[in-house]
Amino acid sequence: MNVSKPTIPAEIDSSSDVTSLSFTVSESDAGTRLDAYLVAHINRWSRARLQRLIDAGDVLVNSKPGKASYKVSANDQIEVELTPPPESNFTPENIPLEIVFEDDHIIVINKPPGLVVHPAAGVHSGTLANGLAFHFQQLSNAGSIRPGIVHRLDKDTSGLLVVAKTESDHENLTDQFRAREVFKSYVALVYGVVKQQSGSIEQPIARDPRNRTRMAIVAGGRGALSMFKIRRSYDAFTLLDVELKTGRTHQIRVHLSWLKHPVVGDDVYGSGRENNVQDVQLRARIRKLNRHFLHAEQLRFRHPHTGEEMRFAAPLPAELTQFLAAL
């Protein structure tokens, strides 16, 4: 895309309805860090917020995901997807929550499918975060739209999440996730018969340059590693245990789709695959499932205060066990 540098970039701010920007780096800006360049050219967006856009793959440099530390060169083409912030009127809501464990430092939740973890563009209420703010007096990041939220699950993924009550607990847990010390194991039913009994998928993930609402395997994207092993094989499906070593957006779904075995019920990365299912009744069951077959079954981490190893397991929801019974 041939674009020229906007003449009034400083007038673009967080309240603007502009959703994307394109820049051509001038010679005078060459050598500037990417995050600093964006701070100088996008008014009222903090460096931290712009860095989050970069980390999420929403900033492309010459059509590839950029890194905050990258030093721009003259004539670099920079594209920025301005992910809008949710509305500021965050309200606690009486949303039922399944509490697996709670003490003075952490809460472990078994999240149902269909529940968004926190407000985002287009979703301003009815989230797990709204429910947490209602049920608990003390949470980390109090007053924000992500109270207590340390990590996320996709809307239609069910299973275990750990929530922090204090800032120090939040920081400790975040460090554990960053150091890959947290054990996260998922159950996924995928289309087709997986031939390898076990294996690993190590492919970089970033925003899909052709469709910014999706993630994709992109050269230069953020490193992502998923480990899998077969739990059970069926005639046209395979039930997998998948361990996440990293936590990229939609990681399991993108990796398994790349493996040519997308998750059953995944309308984003496996759309249309149910049409290949020969059994008409089973095909109808997939469409009526109204979620993807992905469940965060096991979670292990060190307690942020005591250092004790914490182990949790959440059984498959009824709709998933019933679906397996139909196979």
Q: How many domains are contained in the chain?
A: 3
Same domain, 155 and 289: no
CATH number, domain at 70?
3.10.290.10
Query: 200-224, pLDDT tens digit by residue?
Result: 999 999 888 888 788 999 988 889 9
* Domain assignment of residue 50, yes or no: yes
Query: 95-122, pLDDT tens digit by residue?
Result: 999 999 999 999 999 999 999 998 877 7
Same domain, 201 and 294: yes
Evaluate if residue 319 carries a pLDDT over 70. yes
Catalytic residue among 29, 35, 58, 154: 154
* Domain assignment of residue 4, yes or no: no
* Domain assignment of residue 161, yes or no: yes
Evaluate if residue 10 carries a pLDDT over 90. no
Same domain, 189 and 296: yes
- Mean pLDDT score of the chain: 89
Q: pLDDT-derived band of residue 311, with 50, 70 and 90 as boundaries?
A: very high
pLDDT at position 258? 97
Same domain, 203 and 233: yes
Catalytic residue flag (residue 76): no
Same domain, 263 and 316: yes
Considering 132, 161, 177, which residue would you say is the last residue of a domain?
A: 177
CATH number, domain at 168?
3.30.2350.10
pLDDT at position 16? 37
- Distance CA(33)–CA(269), nearest Å, equals 34
Largest Cα separation within the chain, whole Å, is: 65
Same domain, 253 and 303: yes
Rounded to whole angstroms, what are the CA distances from 308 to 159, 302, 303, 304?
22, 5, 5, 8
Same domain, 196 and 75: no
* Domain assignment of residue 87, yes or no: no
pLDDT at position 172? 95
Same domain, 195 and 291: yes
pLDDT at position 19? 60
Same domain, 191 and 167: no
Contact, 278 vs 142, CB < 8 A? Answer: no
What phi and psi values does residue 31 have, to the nearest 5 degrees?
95, -5
Considering 81, 111, 141, which residue would you say is the last residue of a domain?
A: 81
Query: 49-100, pLDDT tens digit by residue?
Result: 888 788 777 888 987 888 999 999 999 999 888 765 555 578 999 999 999 9
* Domain assignment of residue 92, yes or no: no
Burial code (b: 16+ CB inside 10 Å, e: under 16) for 31-67 equals: ebebbbbbbebbeebeeeebbebbebbbbbbeeebbb
pLDDT at position 57? 76
- Structural domain span for residue 312: 183-326
Query: 229-288, pLDDT tens digit by residue?
Result: 999 999 999 999 999 999 898 999 999 999 999 999 999 999 889 988 888 999 999 999
* Domain assignment of residue 1, yes or no: no
> Residue 241's CB: how many other CB atoms inside 10 A?
17
Considering 177, 197, 232, which residue would you say is the last residue of a domain?
A: 177
* Domain assignment of residue 89, yes or no: no
* Domain assignment of residue 3, yes or no: no
Can you list the pairs that 123-129 forms with residues at least 24 positions away whose Cβ atoms lie under 8 Å? 123/86, 124/86, 124/87, 124/89, 125/91, 125/93, 126/93, 126/95, 127/95, 128/95, 128/97, 128/161, 129/90
Same domain, 283 and 191: yes
pLDDT at position 4? 34
- Residue with token string 């970069």: 54
Same domain, 260 and 130: no
Same domain, 190 and 282: yes
